[in-house]
């Protein structure tokens, strides 16, 4: 099936944490990425149209390299769906450094080859 989205997505499995409130840091998983956002799986709910701080552990594109990158960003919750005990949450970047945006674009380019 051909991709119908304006911005294509790639499947990943990256560790991340989301800050839900004062001192409330929750581990989550990023399951796909696009140029504009991510899909994450969370054990707990998040509020729609709310912005959250997120830190993702993004692997190096070179599989031989051991280091990864900690990407800090702010994201807006677009929608959320509960399935099999996890919340599948679509998030849109509202704050992301140019360096980290380039890292995401490199991942998208690398995987689409």
> Per-residue DSSP letters for 76-104?
EEEEEEEETTEEEEEEEEEE--HHHHHHH
CB of 40 within 8 A of CB of 85?
no
Confidence category of residue 3, pLDDT binned at 50, 70, 90 = very low
Strand partners, 87: 42, 82
How many Å apart are CA 80 and CA 45, to the nearest integer? 8
Residue range 36-71, pLDDT digits in tens: 999 999 999 999 999 999 999 999 888 888 899 999
Domain segments of the chain as ranges: 10-111
- Pairing mode, if any, of strands 24-33 and 68-83? unpaired
**Fold adopted by 10-111:** Thrombin, subunit H (2.40.10)
For the chain, give the mean pLDDT.
89
How many Å apart are CA 112 and CA 63, to the nearest integer? 16
């Amino acid at each position: 099936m051909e991709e119908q989205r304006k911005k294509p997505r790639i499947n990943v499995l990256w560790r991340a944490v989301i800050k839900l409130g004062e001192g409330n840091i929750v581990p989550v998983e990023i399951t796909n990425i696009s140029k504009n956002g991510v899909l994450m799986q969370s054990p707990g709910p998040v509020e729609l149209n709310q912005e959250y701080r997120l830190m993702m552990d993004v692997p190096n594109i070179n599989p031989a390299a051991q280091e990864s990158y900690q990407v800090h960003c702010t994201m807006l919750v677009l929608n959320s769906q509960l399935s099999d005990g996890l919340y599948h949450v679509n998030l849109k970047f509202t704050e992301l450094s140019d360096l980290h945006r380039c890292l995401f674009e490199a991942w998208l380019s690398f995987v689409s080859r």
